[in-house]
Amino acid sequence: MAVEYAWFIPSARAGDGHKINVPIPERQPTVEYLSEVARAAEDAGFVNLLVPTGTHCLDAWVIAAGVAQNSNRIKFCVAFRPGLTSPVYSAQICNTLDWTTNGRVTVNVVTGSSPKEQMRYGDHLNHDERYERALEFLDIIKALWTSKEPVNFKGKFYDIRDAGFFPDAATKPFPKVYMGGSSEAGRNVGAKHSDIHMMYAVDLETIAKDVVDMKRRAAEYGREKEIKMGVRMHIVCRDTKEEAHRAAEALIEGSELSNTGTWADMKNNTDSVGQQRVNDLAAGESLWVTDTLWMGVNRVRAGAGASLVGTPDMVADTLKEYVEAGVEAFILSGWPHVEEATRFGRDIMPLLKDTNPAVLEESASTLAS
């Protein structure tokens, strides 16, 4: 089993820097800076980069296309929301980027966050309806990716007739699908379609139960050996435990959830079960769940709120515990993203050799030649 370690592109309005979610970003999310993050991640040994989506972010497809020109082999896990564009057009966008980057695209299917955020896009479906739509959406996209004939589909949300387009995807049989979902509806769609089913990191015991549950659901589709479980979390690594704890707590000093109204909505007015699980864990007596697992990020932003904090040995040992629980993919981040990626590659990645880290494959053009 190869474990995949991926990094993150900080393309939100809050940008990047030594503090989270401050009113004026220390480092703006320019293509030039985000390309620097990508190169640092590639040099560190990460194989993929999550490019986030939402009204608080730059458009993920555009950013991935721009940054890909300034990096060499690392892949881009482009987040997008089913329903904002048709499944045929979404597949064409994905294939175009995959084709022009010689097979460096994976996709992160995000059904939504909060009702208010979805309304900004004019999407009025409720939580379970969004997953019901996502099921049709992914049925259509996978048919487009695998069929040699025009695709026809008629369901509750889509009526597609004689669909086909140029280009085909460079990645065969098709780009990996990452999907998050902790709710019943999300787990059921993921069981059928996720190559890597993502969860926000919470305590180890809960994640271990998630792994068993998703394998059981995937078995109903004969996919228990295909589906992999992934977690999304942050990293704060320093030479000593005391330095790491101080660095973590300094990240949120002077930061306010209200600095980005979208994140406040996504955290506090959410119908996401995954977000609620993170919120609940962060609402305990202490933000330190263990010596290594810290929930402080949840105080100042939405989404992934858990961080692994400590020395290289502490962080590596905890990651290995998640691997032993069945996790096969990690999407990580840390502030600032250049320095923390570099530190991870230098100090932590060598300690993870026994997890058999995935390595970057040759590009599709190289394989074809």
The CATH number for 180's domain is 3.20.20.30
- Cα distance between residue 118 and residue 110, in whole Å: 11
Provide the domain count of the chain. 1
Pair of tokens at residue 320: 């290995």
Residue 248 lies in a domain: no
Residue 22 lies in a domain: yes
Residue 271 lies in a domain: no
What residues have CB less than 8 Å from 319, skipping those under 6 apart?
308, 330, 348, 352, 355
Tell me the pLDDT tens digit for each residue of 26-39: 999 999 999 999 99
Single-letter code of the amino acid located at 329: A
Note if the pTM is more than 0.75: yes
Residue 286 lies in a domain: no
Tell me the pLDDT tens digit for each residue of 39-85: 999 999 999 999 999 988 999 999 999 999 999 999 999 999 998 99
Check if the beta carbon of residue 231 is closer than 8 Å to that of residue 322: yes
Mean pLDDT of 299-303: 79
Residue 292: phi, psi to the nearest 5? -115, -30
Residue 296 lies in a domain: no
Bridge partner residues of 16 (DSSP): 27
- Cα distance between residue 319 and residue 348, in whole Å: 10
Tell me the pLDDT tens digit for each residue of 96-141: 999 999 999 999 999 977 777 788 888 889 989 999 999 999 999 9
Number of Cβ within a 10 Å radius of residue 265? 21
DSSP 225-287: TT-EEEEEEEEEE-SSHHHHHHHHHHHTTT--GGGSHHHHHHHHS---HHHHHHHHHHTSS-S
Check if the beta carbon of residue 213 is closer than 8 Å to that of residue 187: yes
Residue 245 lies in a domain: no
Residue 289 lies in a domain: no
Residue 37 lies in a domain: yes
Per-residue CA distances from 195 to 76, 83, 255, 333, 337 (Å): 15, 20, 35, 21, 26
| Owning domain of residue 190 | 4-235+310-368
